Amino acid sequence: AQLQDLAGEKVKAAKNMSFVFDIDGVLVHGDRLIPEGRRALQILNGDNELGIKIPHIFLTNGSGKPEQPRCDQLSKILGVPISTEQFIQSHTPMQALSEYYNTVLVVGGEGYKCREVAELYGFKDIVVPNDIIAWDETIAPFRKFTAEERATSRPRDFSRMNIDAILVFSDSRDFATDLQIIMDLLQSENGRFGTRAKDPVSQRIPIYFSQGDLLCPSEHPYPRMSQGAFRIGLEAMYKALTGEDLERVVYGKPELATYKYADEVITNWMNVIHNEEKLPEHIYMVGDNPASDIVGGNSYGWNTCLVRTGVFQGGENDEENPANFGVFRNVLEAVKTAISKEL
Binding site for ligand G3P (CB under 6 A): 22-25, 60-62, 213, 216, 226
DSSP letters, 150-173, are: HHH-----TTSS---EEEE-S--S
Three-state SS at 287: strand
Three-state SS at 283: strand
Which residues face 21 on adjacent strands? 58, 286
Nearest approach, Cβ of residue 93 and ligand G3P (Å)? 14
Among 19, 24, 204, 327, binds Mg ion (CB under 5 A): 24
Q: Which is nearer to ligand G3P, 22 or 36 (CB)?
A: 22
Out of Mg ion, ligand G3P, none, what residue 216 binds, judged by CB under 5 to 8 A for its kind, is: ligand G3P
Amino acid in the structure at residue 194: G
- Please write down the long-range contacts of 184-192, taking CB distance under 8 Å and 24 or more positions apart: 184/139, 185/105, 186/238, 186/242, 186/246, 187/241, 187/242, 190/162, 191/103, 191/162, 191/163, 191/164, 191/165, 192/158, 192/159, 192/161, 192/162, 192/163
Query: Cis link prior to 129 (omega < 30° from 0)?
Result: no
Q: Which is nearer to ligand G3P, 14 or 57 (CB)?
A: 57
Nearest approach, Cβ of residue 253 and Mg ion (Å)? 9
Amino acid in the structure at residue 328: F
Out of Mg ion, ligand G3P, none, what residue 258 binds, judged by CB under 5 to 8 A for its kind, is: none
Q: Is 318 in the site for Mg ion (CB under 5 A)?
A: no
Nearest approach, Cβ of residue 225 and ligand G3P (Å)? 10
Number of residues that bind Mg ion (CB under 5 A): 5
Among 13, 18, 20, 25, binds Mg ion (CB under 5 A): 25
Nearest approach, Cβ of residue 310 and ligand G3P (Å)? 7
Out of Mg ion, ligand G3P, none, what residue 61 binds, judged by CB under 5 to 8 A for its kind, is: ligand G3P
C-alpha closest to that of 133 among 117, 110, 118, 149: 149
Out of ligand G3P, Mg ion, none, what residue 180 binds, judged by CB under 5 to 8 A for its kind, is: none
Report yes or no: 211 and 90 within 8 Å, Cβ to Cβ: yes
Residues that bind Mg ion (CB under 5 A): 22, 24-25, 288-289
